Amino acid sequence: MTAAVPSALLADRLRRAGDAAATRDVDLLLITPGTDLRYLVDAGGESHERLTCLVLPATGHRAPPALVVPRLEAPGWAHLPLAELGVEIVTWNDGEDPYLLVSDLAGGPQAVAVGDTMPAVHVFGLRDALPGCTQDLAGPLLRELRMRKDTAEVAQLRAAGAAIDRVHARMPEFLAPGRTEAEVGADIAAAIVEEGHASAAFVIVGSGPNGASPHHELSDRVIESGDVVVVDIGGPLPTGYFSDSTRTYAVGAEPPLRVREAYAALQDAQERAVAAVRPGVRAEDVDAVARVRLTESGLGERFLHRTGHGIGLDVHEDPYIVGGNALPLEPGMAFSVEPGVYLDGAWGARIEDIVVVTDDGCERLNTRPRDLVVL
Amino acid sequence: MTAAVPSALLADRLRRAGDAAATRDVDLLLITPGTDLRYLVDAGGESHERLTCLVLPATGHRAPPALVVPRLEAPGWAHLPLAELGVEIVTWNDGEDPYLLVSDLAGGPQAVAVGDTMPAVHVFGLRDALPGCTQDLAGPLLRELRMRKDTAEVAQLRAAGAAIDRVHARMPEFLAPGRTEAEVGADIAAAIVEEGHASAAFVIVGSGPNGASPHHELSDRVIESGDVVVVDIGGPLPTGYFSDSTRTYAVGAEPPLRVREAYAALQDAQERAVAAVRPGVRAEDVDAVARVRLTESGLGERFLHRTGHGIGLDVHEDPYIVGGNALPLEPGMAFSVEPGVYLDGAWGARIEDIVVVTDDGCERLNTRPRDLVVL
């Protein structure tokens, strides 16, 4: 993955993480490779049996910030502005105990928080090297930071949105009667990479009755004229930021009136939910707007899932746009708005845009037509 | 990934895992998605924030074997012979606490062992749901099983070896003066998939001086006539079993005598190390055979790494063929034999075959010529 974040922004993220730790009486954050590490130092590293771990003290704690890495892999970290950020690289050799090295750096912590994805082998290695110290999750603390995107992150999500929109724009090349979902999916996956993603993380082509299953991916079903087809696609840019956008297409022929009517209700529900997004509105309120609108059209029971999920370095992250989540939206929060309707055994439809909350509403990062286009 | 393991073999793996747990006074194994789960039930699942967990009791423990899965994902597990294996699928819905569900199933364990790669979020969820119960790693116990391959596994590794050999056979299509390592690498990656792998997990093309760095992958260096080029490639089959094979090529012209002499010593070292593999020989002895032979030719200091690593569902796993590992080899153990020589700033070479220990020696799973072929 390529680095892209100005070091002033990284310094700000590290400072806010240290502040958040201090607020929660956590002495140290211990973060192994993954998206939390990528967020904090703009490099993810690889997670494997050798320990790589960011040791990030709470603001005011005595330990120095350090990145513990296997000596063999130190060259891979040399391009980062770690010295400028006040983070020392500390290497260890095969045969040394990296957990004791962390313990030596840690300055006698009483409470550490480890990244949610840290593998058990490292969790227990650190537990045994820091006896008497409590271990909890860093996720609840870091998600407070990560769900409010800074300018560099919004720029990446905007670029990801434009890239996946270019793939949807090419759908007439791919989607046609007589082709299987798997054939169409393979072409779409290649286009996702061609349009600038590092990989195609997911490709859902749900044709005809398969569209009625929100978790359907690809099958050998041959697409027929008259099918309604759900296409939900995305992947990470080289920087790690994800795209995710769904459009629903009609293939070969206009669908019957009852389908067009239900689709019109869905489109209106998505439009209203997006229009409801602004600072201070609760996440669950956005969900309710879509749900109420579909219920008015007798489709409430056909909307089987939450309205959306946050997106960033993870394709699913906070905030979740779901009943029960009273979180007030704030500028910089980025998430999907993706109501759907699923008619068992017959057809399904979903419309999904990523939006970023602005000072007075939101910016849509996906702008392809939302009508039921006939290809 | 596709399923391939006869259920009698899966039953045997589950039984041996239960026996191993009982021997070590572990009441339950708790295994989340990853290669350990794939080994035990022939399906890996996906690791994410929702808990999927195999609850496997030690032989004699009262808890029933169960696979806890999110209800949404239950259809993805329906193809497995779990009922036949005596493993009940237990589903949970969003909003329920899956850790308490495991606790209810667990029958009051005193000691559990969790998979080495289990994410901290699940480690702590289970810790809090099983108060007073110790948590340790399942890895030391499962690696005893996993490093002794059964017939289905050897068949998969043999197929993986044949697939990567077909890629090496096509090297004259890819490797030529005037092309960059990155261009060659992209072609090789495509060929790895064309020849039957699920993906290209790693592609090292180390040309000229880049070959002197064992961890080099790809660069924009243009390959020149006379270069020696290390090509170390592999990936997983759709069943998850990995290939990994290195050959070294001379491009465009025969290299000078000193290179050919050093290469001949390397080839002899690899040959002798493979010939030394048989039941009862210690892992470190195989390493020593290669090291002593290279030292005789004054190249001992140029052999910078261990001689090999186990391979299976993970590309690096036990047994490691390295000084200090006194493990006696047994039939069914599969690992690489890959000595190399690295001449700083000039060139490097490595020869790597996967071997499986047989009753009286070993079977090589890679059979491409090991001479310094001039392309």
Q: For B204-244, what is each residue's pLDDT tens digit?
A: 999 999 999 887 889 999 999 999 999 999 999 999 999 99
User: Are the Cβ atoms of A120 and B115 closer than 8 angstroms?
Assistant: yes
Residue with tokens 């191993």: B20
Average pLDDT of the segment spanning A7-25: 96
- DSSP class per residue in B248-302: EEE-SSPPPHHHHHHHHHHHHHHHHHHHH--TT-BHHHHHHHHHHHHHHTT-GGG
User: Edge-to-edge strands of the sheet including A353-357?
Assistant: A317-321, A308-310, A334-337, A353-357, A362-364
* Chain B residues touching A119 at Cβ < 8 A: 116-120
C-alpha distance from B251 to closest chain A C-alpha (Å):
28
Residue A172 predicted with pLDDT over 90? yes
**Residue B111 sits at the chain A interface (C-beta within 8 Å):** no
Residue B281 predicted with pLDDT over 50? yes
C-alpha distance from B139 to closest chain A C-alpha (Å):
8
Q: What is the pLDDT, as a whole number, of residue B47?
A: 66
| DSSP 8-class letter at A276 | H
How much is the mean pLDDT over chain A? 94
pLDDT in tens, A93-114: 877 899 999 999 998 999 999 9
C-alpha distance from A214 to closest chain B C-alpha (Å):
10
C-alpha distance from B65 to closest chain A C-alpha (Å):
22
Tell me which of B41 and B79 has the higher pLDDT.
B41
CA closest to B124 among chain A residues = A136
* Chain B residues touching A136 at Cβ < 8 A: 124
| Residue A233: HSE in the Cβ half-sphere, 13 Å Cα cutoff | 36
Quote the Cα angle for B326-B327-B333, to 5°.
Answer: 145
Domains and CATH numbers, chain B: 7-146 (3.40.350.10), 151-374 (3.90.230.10)
C-alpha distance from A116 to closest chain B C-alpha (Å):
5
User: Are the Cβ atoms of B137 and A117 closer than 8 angstroms?
Assistant: no
How much is the mean pLDDT over chain B? 94
Residue with tokens 């110790």: B134
Dist CA B147 CA B160 (whole Å): 17
Side chain identity at residue B325, one-letter code = N
pLDDT in tens, B95-139: 789 999 999 999 899 999 999 999 999 999 999 999 999 999 999
* Chain A residues touching B73 at Cβ < 8 A: 215
User: Are the Cβ atoms of A118 and B115 closer than 8 angstroms?
Assistant: no
Q: How many CB atoms lie within 10 A of CB A225?
A: 11
* Chain A residues touching B121 at Cβ < 8 A: 116-117, 137, 139
User: Are the Cβ atoms of B116 and A120 closer than 8 angstroms?
Assistant: yes
**Which residues share a beta bridge with A354?**
A336
| A214 band by pLDDT with thresholds 50, 70 and 90 | confident
Tell me which of B49 and B185 has the higher pLDDT.
B185
pLDDT in tens, A319-372: 999 999 999 999 999 999 999 999 988 999 999 999 999 999 999 999 999 999
Average pLDDT of the segment spanning B77-92: 91
Over pLDDT 90: what percentage of chain A? 87
Structure-block tokens of residue B209: 């001086």
Which residue of B73, B120, B139 is in closest CB contact with A123?
B120
Residue B3 predicted with pLDDT over 60? no
The pairing of beta strand A334-337 with beta strand B228-234: unpaired
User: Are the Cβ atoms of B49 and A123 closer than 8 angstroms?
Assistant: no
Dist CA A229 CA A250 (whole Å): 6
User: Are the Cβ atoms of A137 and B115 closer than 8 angstroms?
Assistant: no
User: Are the Cβ atoms of A116 and B120 closer than 8 angstroms?
Assistant: yes
CA closest to B315 among chain A residues = A48
- DSSP class per residue in A320-351: EE-TT--PBP-TT-EEEE--EEEETTTEEEE-
| Residue B38: HSE in the Cβ half-sphere, 13 Å Cα cutoff | 19
pTM of the complete model: 0.89
Dist CA A63 CA A297 (whole Å): 59
How many beta-carbon pairs under 8 angstroms link A with B?
A: 51
Scanning A307-366 for CB atoms below 8 A from B yields 316
Helix B151-169, helix B181-194: angle, nearest 10: 140
Q: What is the pLDDT, as a whole number, of residue B1?
A: 47
User: Are the Cβ atoms of B119 and A114 closer than 8 angstroms?
Assistant: no
Structure-block tokens of residue A183: 């054939």
Q: What is the pLDDT, as a whole number, of residue A74?
A: 84
| A47 band by pLDDT with thresholds 50, 70 and 90 | low
CA closest to A31 among chain B residues = B120
CA closest to B71 among chain A residues = A215
Scanning A17-56 for CB atoms below 8 A from B yields 48-49
Structure-block tokens of residue B126: 């289970």
Residue A143 predicted with pLDDT over 50? yes
Select from B165, B177, B183 the least CA-distant residue to B375.
Answer: B177
CA closest to B140 among chain A residues = A121
Select from B169, B170, B238, B163 the least CA-distant residue to B198.
Answer: B238
Residue A212 predicted with pLDDT over 70? yes
Interface confidence, given as ipTM, is 0.88
Side chain identity at residue A124, one-letter code = F
Dist CA A80 CA A77 (whole Å): 6
